[in-house]
Copies of this chain bind each other. A is one copy, B any other.
Amino acid sequence: MVELTRRATFSASHYYWNDEWSTEENEKVFGRCANRNGHGHNYTLEVTVAGTPDPITGFVVDLKWLKDVIEREVLSAYDHRHLNLEVPEFKTAIPTTENIAIAAWRRLEPSLAEAGAARLRRVRVYETPEIFAEYRGEA
């Protein structure tokens, strides 16, 4: 059993805002992140799959295939986008680093469930080099 990880990056805008709260309450809880004009980050996404290396190829999964899955399922929807305004799952959930990690897991998991013996193990999202969230599909 080996875990294989591939990193990718995307640049996106977001803000933190709860429509049911007043402006004052939003600013109190979310601080500068409540700015409705949005601000942004260079996010780093780490996708980890686990499995036994194929005895012929030595691959847990083909990294070119994994890159294409990440591109198709996550980056095409998130990169150079405003997460609140353009990504369906963030119309209801605030795009915190925690929620982005969960959402990226849900986007990736169906494709990886078809990847033979390998399975999705972990998704880590860095909002900055100082802040990251990790989700393993557990309730």
Contacts and interface: CB of A to CB of B under 8 A. Distances in A.
A4 B136 contact: no
B2 A135 contact: yes
B39 A12 contact: yes
B11 A40 contact: yes
Q: Report, as a range, how many residues of chain A touch the other chain.
A: 35 or more
A86 B37 contact: yes
Interface string A1-33: 111111111011110101000000000011111
A39 B79 CA distance: 8
A134 B3 contact: yes
Nearest to A78: B39
Contacts of A12: 39-40
B5 A39 contact: no
A139 B129 CA distance: 30
Contact of A136 (B1, B31, B33, B96): B1
Closest 9 CB pairs of A and B: A40-B40, A37-B82, A58-B96, A58-B94, A32-B80, A13-B13, A7-B130, A53-B98, A39-B80
